[in-house]
Structure 1
Amino acid sequence: MQQLKVVIADDHPIVLVGVREMVMRDQRFAVVAEAVSPSQLVEQLQTHRPDVLITDYNMPGDAVYGDGLKLIQYVLRHFPDTQVLVLTMVSNSLILSRLDELGVAGVIQKNHLHEEIQKALSALSDRRSYRSPQAPASSVVGSTQQVDERFASLSPKELEVLRLFVTGLSVSDIARHLSRSIKTVSAQKVAAMRKLEVDSDQALLTYCIRAEQFE
């Protein structure tokens, strides 16, 4: 039986070694390359065209590929024959739902990696998606009305900051663009996050995407 080629990507060496050892125990798979950054990951995908990619969700981003949703979208678009298994510490159901919508083969919470990796590999070897039993049952976006109410609570200046944030600008970039201090822009962004009930930049971005804001 021909082994399935696997590329592993994670910026934490200990995780990288651990995942490699677990994959190598399964005779159906062969680890052909590893990566510690988005650019290195894309380079290895271009070189090896693997059957499976096991990648961390959050790696230090770069100007070309970014990380998180941006990186996953790029990989799925440019390497459609590669099954993507995402490893993450993110539990925000908006992001997990979005990953599912994008078409990843599966998502594993890192704190359940040892219990789930073999089940996931078995599914991927059969070209099936893997659905973790640890996945949240529902999204924090309860209804369209709830989304509208949350965005209606934002001030015009907070909306302005979010509109630029969604385009990919950093807080310092937004401050320069709006001629405000970095401290002011940061405070407005934090206030918007509190009103929308999200706790990270990726969750904020995903919430805006799912809520179809600023398109």
Structure 2
Amino acid sequence: MDTLNVVIADDHPIVLVGVRELIERDTRFKVVGDAVCSNELVALLVSKPVDLVITDFNMPGDSPYGDGLKLVEYLTRHFPKVGIVVLTMISNPLILTRLQELGVLAVIQKHQLHDEIQAVLKAIARGKPIHHNGPQPTSVMDHGADLDQRFTRLSPKEHEILRLFVSGQSVNEIARGLNRSAKTISTQKVSAMRKLEVSSDQDLLTYCIERNVFN
């Protein structure tokens, strides 16, 4: 078979070097470029023939291509022939399912990178289906009503704090604006996230942005 051209995208140099080393152990793959932000990744895809992208879920910088689900959606829409493997620390089943719905070939947890990437590459090279490990996902589309229902559990104060947080304000900025202590704001934010059953700021932001909750 022909060698598959690979681009790696991650803002951590150590991860880039480590992933490149793992890929180059398999002669069926050739790394043709790496990127540390979404802009560089898209530029490489425009300028080079690429078969596979291995990208971090969270990418830095203010890019029109974004990161997370926004970036993956852009890649699948504009480069439909390029396979995508996502590296992440996120374990939220809703986010993982949405990635599968978008057609990514695999999602690899970073703490399992060395154990999983070789198996994923082998399956890709052979054109075999990839078995997704981790928690059983729940479809965002199928259970959207249940998720929306969770927002009814929020108090007016919790709802306002999340709205401000999703708009880009930090906990300290929200505290100053509402004339409350940062500890109070943080406690109410954590309480709201618990009611929504999200475990991280990234999960919260991704869900709210995807569903236009505060728009």
* Contact kept? 1:9, 1:54, Cα under 8 Å: yes
Distance 1:97 1:140 in 2: 6
* Contact kept? 2:98, 2:139, Cα under 8 Å: no
Give unmatched runs, 5+ long, in structure 2.
none
* 1:10 maps to 2:26: no
- Single out whichever of 60-69 and 139-148 deviates more from structure 2: 139-148
Distance 2:165 2:81 in 1: 32
Distance 1:28 1:152 in 2: 52
Deviation of 1:15 after TM superposition, in Å, equals 1.2
Deviation of 1:202 after TM superposition, in Å, equals 2.4
Aligned partner of 1:136 in structure 2 is 135
Give the TM-score normalised by structure 2.
0.80
Distance 2:81 2:146 in 1: 38
Deviation of 1:155 after TM superposition, in Å, equals 2.7
The change in CA–CA distance for 1:144 and 1:43 in structure 2 (over 3 A counts) is closer
- 1:32 is paired with a residue of what secondary structure? strand
* 1:64 maps to 2:64: yes
Give unmatched runs, 5+ long, in structure 1.
none
> For 1:92-131, what per-residue CA distance to the aligned partner results, in whole angstroms no more than 9, with x for missing partners?
1111111111111111111211221121112222444422
* Contact kept? 2:54, 2:87, Cα under 8 Å: yes
Q: Over the residues paired in the alignment, what is the CA RMSD in angstroms?
A: 3.3
Aligned partner of 1:123 in structure 2 is 123
* 1:26 maps to 2:26: yes
* 1:36 maps to 2:36: yes
Q: Quick one: which amino acid aligns to residue 170 of structure 1? A: G
- 2:34 is paired with a residue of what secondary structure? strand
The change in CA–CA distance for 1:18 and 1:32 in structure 2 (over 3 A counts) is same
Give the TM-score normalised by structure 1.
0.80
Deviation of 1:72 after TM superposition, in Å, equals 1.3
Deviation of 1:19 after TM superposition, in Å, equals 0.8
Deviation of 1:189 after TM superposition, in Å, equals 4.4
* Contact kept? 1:95, 1:202, Cα under 8 Å: no
